[in-house]
Structure 1
Amino acid sequence: MGDEPQWPAQWMRGVLELCVLALVGEHETYGYEIVQRLRTAGFGQVKGGTLYAILLRLEEDGLIDSAWREGAGGPGRKYYLITDAGRAALGARRDNWAAFVATTSELLTTTGTEAR
């Protein structure tokens, strides 16, 4: 547990919604699975309150849908599935993110080199 990265909160706020939308875009999924996938990907432990606020916002924006399902021998789960509008938004946001990362990387690798 001590090896998990501690990303600055501002970075997490900027990218977490996009990452959640991308995970829901892969296949129908539920909250605990999303948290586990984010952790495995290197985002550390994302709190449930943070995740469910993002999922609610994405649903209110019409980018995902949700449905409760019976559990196999356990409690039911709320599953999330991307909508057509969500797929379109995900494509646009991925493109915008890639451009943002390229711009940021360029600036960070070409400025302030004399201070190293």
Structure 2
Amino acid sequence: MLGRFTVRLSDDGSGTFGVWDGAVNGWRVTNLERAAAEQLKTDLDLQFNAHGPRPADEVRTVDPAQRVEHLTAWESGELDAWVRDGGQWLGRVRDRDGHIAWIPQDNLRQAAPEAP
């Protein structure tokens, strides 16, 4: 279940962010910059589903990360991991601004090589 973890504003008034675990209804970590919280959230999505640790055959890392394009106007990004969730494979893609999203496999394609 992707969506178990969410990035929220920390509740201590510090203006920082944290990762909330919906399965245990509590914080995993607080006092992070937003980008670090987003990265940790997706790292936890790779490790856990709604019931606990994700089976190893449901996760594949891509090393080195590959340039891909996704269906939203075929924007480019960098794919660094796959997770099987709900019977489909989703790729973890970081766009040029550093935002991370889970994109269905059918909506991804390998990007054209960059010009020299």
Structure with higher Rg: it is 1
Structure holding more strand per residue: 2
> When the two structures are superposed, what TM-score results if normalisation uses the length of structure 1?
0.25
Structure holding more helix per residue: 1
